[in-house]
Structure 1
């Protein structure tokens, strides 16, 4: 089992959509992992103490390898699980990337419908450079 040799850590906060994607992948493949819950707003001291200044979550690690996006993390996990040969890797299909692109596009479209009253001053300040709407 690769996770026994290489500890897997999800550096995220639970309700982040991308965090759910990576966590669900790990759950469905029965891959043990640890969670280092991060604050919703910056700063994120645990990541900063490791020299990681990337602001988005999830940040995921497999052993000493750190991944700042789900696609590269999931590719690395698939490779590890396929090499393991115990049938825990998920089947891949040609539509996988298209479905992912649709999900991201849907998020950006939905973001525009968030009522301004739900955005606190602190959230607006934190997310201003990511989302021009704030």
Structure 2
């Protein structure tokens, strides 16, 4: 290999090195600029354990918005009319928490029961957040 070929080879290596570095910077930049909100549930399922039935079981779920964009609560629904929810916020700002009180009326139920609660949001990445309550009710 003569000197000119050696210089060309070194220049090509430098160019390839620069291209690789730019690609890495681009990928890292895309990763850090991702605006997908993250949320933290204190618990996604609450188990009341064994109950006698014909009572209203209550618990509170808490969610925290861990990212830098607000989360609008559009609706909260349950899989059964026996489960009701109450909440005070419709907008969870970044790093804020929101509590959802849940009441499960066990009247008329027996055996293992699990009910789903769904929070509908305005976020394209997390349109629906789900959690549940469950219990085993004494059979009469």
TM-score (structure 1 length as normaliser): 0.25
Q: Looking at secondary structure, tell me which structure has more strand per residue.
A: 2
Bigger relative contact order (CA 8 A; separation at least 6): 2
Q: Which of the pair has more CA radius of gyration?
A: 2
TM-score (structure 2 length as normaliser): 0.24
